[in-house]
Amino acid sequence: MNNYNSYPQENTHNSQFVYQDVALQQSLVQRVFLWMTMGLAITGLTAYLTFESNLYFNIASSGMMWLLMLAELGVVMFLSARIQKIAFSTATILFGAYSILNGLTLSVLFAAYTMESLALTFIVTAGTFGATALYGYVTKRDLSSMGSILFMGVIGLIIAGVVNIFLGSSMLSLITSAAGVIIFTGLTAWDMQKIKHLFSGVYADSEEVKKLSVIGALQLYLDFVNLFIYLLRFFGKRN
């Protein structure tokens, strides 16, 4: 009789733990999106203010653009490599600094494209990103095998972009834009599933978990921004 009564109690406790695990996981994923949204807002505001102040012209017409891009790369590499060793406050400051740096470099888009095309492309990017991230979160399919292929694609995009600086080929630009949309759409789903698995089995909202939220936000932020840039080459109407 005692064994019979204890079984449903144990099952109830297990169900409770599973529910708490899922609830915490969803809460942590929401925090990732909150950080990502804050980063995008900082970038957008910085880019607009830089454009309005005409500082973008000094950035675009000097070597400052390259310095900013190198600084961005350095921040991303440092955050990715040292996220386990730095404090949460340091991680948030670096993420905010990266968002500002990226806003400075992206300010030239306000000069190159019309406001209408920027707004339209942002809406299309948000819809595409949201749908793909949702797929990565809910799908039962293992997307881990896509990672190496997608990263090879990113390297290919970088090489093609450097080559096209010298060639100036509109056809190559169109091809790389199409490839970029496909690659970063895939990376969005891949990163989303990776973040979901990263938080599975987490039972406490610790300092380490908070730092993982920041690095997860950075990954999705990069996916969103790159997807936006490549879509802008299709939908963007130049000034």
The DSSP code sequence of 188-201 is HHHHHHHHHHHHTT
pLDDT higher than 60, residue 19: no
Query: pLDDT tens-digit profile of 207-228?
Result: 788 888 999 999 999 999 999 9
**Residue 113 φ/ψ region, left for φ over 0, alpha for ψ in the -120 to 50 degree band, beta for the rest:** beta
**113, 237 in Cβ contact below 8 A?**
yes
Residue 43 Cα to chain centre, angstroms: 12
Q: How do residues 61-93 score in pLDDT, each as one tens digit?
A: 777 888 899 999 999 999 989 888 899 999 999
Among 219, 212, 223, residue whose Cα is nearest residue 24: 212
CA distance 22 to 20: 5
Cα–Cα distance between 214 and 235 in angstroms, integer? 31
CA dihedral (42, 105, 118, 54) positive or negative: positive
Reported confidence tier of residue 12, pLDDT bands at 50, 70, 90? very low
Summarize the confidence of residues 10-14 as an average pLDDT.
Answer: 43
Are 231 and 43 in contact by the 8 Å Cβ rule? The answer is: no
pTM: 0.86
Nearest to 217 by CA among 58, 54, 91, 35: 35
- What pLDDT was estimated at residue 76? 93
List, for residues 93-121, the tens digit of each pLDDT value. Answer: 999 999 999 999 999 999 889 999 999 99
Q: Which residue has the higher pLDDT, 33 or 62?
A: 33
What letter represents residue 142's amino acid?
Answer: D
User: How many Å apart are CA 117 and CA 192, to the nearest integer?
Assistant: 28
pLDDT band at 166 (very low <50, low <70, confident <90, very high): confident
What is the residue extent of each domain of the chain?
Answer: 2-235
